Structure 1
Amino acid sequence: MAHAAPVPGRARRAVTTGLSGLPDVFSARTHRVASVAVPVVLGLIYGYWAAANRRAGGEITGWNLLFGFVTAAAFMVLYVAVRWVASQVIRELHAVLWAAFAGGTFGFLYSQGGNSVLRSSVMGLAIGAAFFVVLFYRYYTHEDAQGHRLR
């Protein structure tokens, strides 16, 4: 199969790229929809997971449903707040915020399985510490000295 050869002297049209350097194939409208849909979907999954852990395979009751929806709403609000605040701060605090969010949400889910508060706190701290190490490394290697994201 024949292919067209590139013509010297002709400039290619620039493709808009995101933070990762890859082309941004989604429109601005798609990004706006995703900024609302992602917290809602994650919140519903988290709420269902917490309610399922709490009932431990028993029957679904009205209180269990209420618990799941309240947990989902709290998760959504916290997720949006952390996402907004984290984008405004330096990389160290950015990593701390997401690590605290991940550790806290994991610890809460772990506690719904009937584990002690101490064990749930230790597990949440361990997960939060692991998240902090990974996120700090990522943010440290993807930002310059002034905290601006590298493109």
Structure 2
Amino acid sequence: MAQHAAPAPAHLPSVPALVLPLIAGIAYGFWAANIQRRGGDVTGGNIALGLVSGALVAALCFGIHAWSARQEGRHFFARAATWGVFSGAAIGFLHSLANGTVLWSVILGAIVGGSMYVATYYRYYSASEYAHVTE
């Protein structure tokens, strides 16, 4: 008689894992649309930029978090680098909307991305099973 394995229970994301990317996407979309507007009238282009950039940030934030959670305890470099590249690109894009020079947008993005890399690498490494506490 053949044995059948029960399907694995579906892992649903927690409420903060859904709400925080949504809030980040909404805030980013409003911020991007507001920067591009430059104090003028609201146009369809402003609304489209805000919706698209906010949806993209929310989706990427949720996707990176979900992928990173599956890599728990390993791949510190890749996980931290992913968050660093994401945050650096996001800030660089916002600065470029404010008519900043391309060079300064790249430098600012690199500073923010590098800082995020260091912070998330430290967080992932210190929370891992490899960070033993000596007594």
Q: Same fold (TM over 0.5)?
A: yes
Percent identity of equivalent pairs = 31
SS for the counterpart of 1:54 is: helix
- 1:86 corresponds in structure 2 to 68
1:57 maps to 39
The alignment of Structure 1 onto Structure 2 pairs a total of residues equal to 117
- 1:117 counterpart (102, 109, 115): 102
Query: Which residue identity lines up with residue 51 of structure 1 in the other structure?
Result: A
More helix by share: 2
Cα 1:35–1:133 change in 2 (3 A) is closer
**Residue in 2 that maps onto 1:104:** 89
RMSD: 1.9
Q: Name the TM-score, length of structure 2 as normaliser.
A: 0.77
Structure ID, larger Rg: 1
Structure 1 residue aligned with 2:127: 142
Q: Distance in 1 between matches of 2:68 and 2:107?
A: 24
SS in 2 for 1:60: coil
Contact 2:27 2:54 in 1 (8 A): yes
Q: Which runs of 5+ in 1 are unaligned?
A: 1-28
